[in-house]
Amino acid sequence: MFWHNFINFFNSSFFIAVTTLAVGTFAYRVYRRQKRDDKSDAAKVMLLEIEGAEQTLQSQRINETQPFTPSGEEDLYLMPLASWGKYKYLFVRNFDRNEWDKISDFYLRCQVYDEAVRFQVSVVKKNQEELRFNVQRILADYADKYIRSLKGKSTIQQVQLEQDYIAERKLFTDTYVNTQPTHMFTYIPVMPYNDAIRALKGLDKSISLTSIGIKLKHIAYKKSTWQQFKDHIVGVQNN
Which is nearest to 200 in space by CA: 117, 85, 95, 86?
A: 117
CB contact set of 50 (below 8 Å; sequence gap of 6+): 106, 207, 208, 213, 216
Q: What does the pLDDT read at residue 85?
A: 92
Question: What is the rounded CA–CA span in Å between residue 82 and residue 96?
Answer: 21
Confidence of residue 178 (pLDDT cuts 50, 70, 90): low
Pure H helices in the chain: 2-11, 13-58, 84-87, 97-149, 155-176, 191-200, 211-221, 225-238
Cα-Cα-Cα-Cα torsion 141, 147, 149, 152, nearest 10 degrees, comes to: -160
Pure H helices in 59-96: 84-87
CA distances from 116 to 14, 47, 78 (A): 66, 23, 11
pTM: 0.65
Confidence of residue 223 (pLDDT cuts 50, 70, 90): low
Confidence of residue 14 (pLDDT cuts 50, 70, 90): low
The mean pLDDT of 81-100, rounded to a whole number, is 93
Confidence of residue 150 (pLDDT cuts 50, 70, 90): confident
The pairs formed by 127-132 with CB atoms below 8 angstroms and a separation of 24 or more are: 127/186, 127/187, 127/188, 131/176, 131/177, 131/186
Q: What is the chain's mean pLDDT, rounded?
A: 78
Cα-Cα-Cα-Cα torsion 139, 145, 148, 152, nearest 10 degrees, comes to: -120
The mean pLDDT of 204-209, rounded to a whole number, is 92
Q: Give pLDDT tens digits for 100-137.
A: 999 999 999 999 999 999 988 887 777 677 777 777 88
3 vs 98 pLDDT, higher one: 98
**Which stretch of 9-13, 131-135, 156-160 has the lowest confidence by average pLDDT?**
9-13
Q: What does the pLDDT read at residue 18?
A: 54
115 vs 28 pLDDT, higher one: 115
* pLDDT over 60 (residue 236): no
57 vs 236 pLDDT, higher one: 57
Give the SS3 label for residue 36.
helix
Question: What is the rounded CA–CA span in Å between residue 223 and residue 88?
Answer: 21
